[in-house]
Structure 1
């Protein structure tokens, strides 16, 4: 199910916001490096699997080792399903087009299979935020257990997706030359 604003989110501290910005600042001039670093940082900060995808067909993910520490993913079949899903660009394109159709640059919670019959959402959940700059549209987020701390993770994704969009626009990333 897709849910916007299901709870009061905790605000990120200024120190956390600065830490996020500093962690990707040096990579802001090149899209590939920026999104690679962004997924690494988000995975490290949340302890979950982080994913970024763009409408140009790029997929970035980090934190796969984090799955080994999450009880829901100890099941080998579940791990296999998650790994397969990470590499299926068609799946991410469908999500990106579905989210983009709302026109609402907010965060999205996927907690069940409404609209997508996908067995991985029996045991896990995702939170994604959109970013857009010039001709590039994308999303960044996490996959984790349904019991993740949404109130802590959601503000991080919201801030990071907004930060990525600002950096990409300032650097004119995605502009055809």
Structure 2
């Protein structure tokens, strides 16, 4: 029996393309997930793997739909083989029932991991270049220097409640205490 598995990374993406191609490939059962491949828990994949019996074939649209890394991908396909199951990837044309398919599987897996490493390397280089230009990522600070000094003065006045300080600055008490201690000392 052919069992299909499809995955998209976010809820906004659609599984239609993958499921259509899996049906055309003769999959009688198709399991799906809408979660990042980096996530450990993929209930659809777990169901697909537990559904498989000796002689069945797990079919995916692309290699990266199945494994999080080359090591993970190889482990999953080896585990399938140990259970007497086959594996096919439609886009890469990999069929592990043949020696050529096994070789192709390992080559494409290595190339996929190489591509992810290149993307990660380019992202890090881009972030370094931005930092050199004075740009930092992330959320801007909730309080500027003037706001911090005002908060330090106000928090030392016992007649000014914390709620009033927070309202005036437009922040929560947790944010206030992240910047200024209860005694008015500076924290950040």
Same fold at TM > 0.5: no
Q: Which has the larger radius of gyration?
A: 2
Structure with bigger RCO (C-alpha 8 Å, 6+ apart)? 1
TM-score (norm 1): 0.33
TM-score (norm 2): 0.32
